[in-house]
Amino acid sequence: MEPTVNLKELFEEKGYKYTAQREKIFDILKKQCGEHLTATDICELVQSNHPDIGMATVYRTLLIFEELNIINKLGSEDEFSRYEFNANNDTHKHYHLICVKCGQIKDIKENFMAEMSENVSEKYDFTVNGYNQKLYGICKECLAKEVQNAGG
């Protein structure tokens, strides 16, 4: 069993204070592990139990969480940023499948990338630390719809 991140210790290490707000926001993010939430999403979820916590605090907290590797920030191409809980501390080390039809984002966890990283390091004099991979395409559901429409 993986021990959960100990927020308090982590914060103390970095000189941050352990506040109720930060704890609440952490709880929400952890509970929503696997989702790709906007700052507004997160704020609304937090506010449903703690209406006093404001947007500014959410943003400031997300910044710290990003720095502490607790979450990953995903820059959506067209919209605003999304955040995801970084369950195994594998920053940027996974892939996102983005359906160009419905916009849903899925994760891939396999490490297709290890070999490529080595190649890149050799050929481009570039030390790869992480990657944020976006694969654009069509998901199963949307493909089914397309086939349907083509048939009709």
> Nearest-CA neighbor of 73 among 24, 25, 33, 38?
38
Residue 10 interacts with DNA (CB under 7 A): yes or no? no
For residue 93, the one-letter residue type is K
Residue 92 interacts with DNA (CB under 7 A): yes or no? no
* Least distance from a second copy to the Cβ atom of residue 114, Å: 11
Residue 133 interacts with DNA (CB under 7 A): yes or no? no
How far is it, in rounded angstroms, from Cα 102 to Cα 87?
26
Contact 8, 22 (CB under 8 A): no
Residue 68 interacts with DNA (CB under 7 A): yes or no? no
Q: Using CB distances below 5 to 8 A depending on partner kind, what does residue 60 bind out of DNA, a second copy, none?
A: DNA
Termini Cα distance of the chain? 52
> What residues line the site for DNA (CB under 7 A)?
8, 11-12, 15-22, 38-40, 52-57, 59-61, 63, 79-81
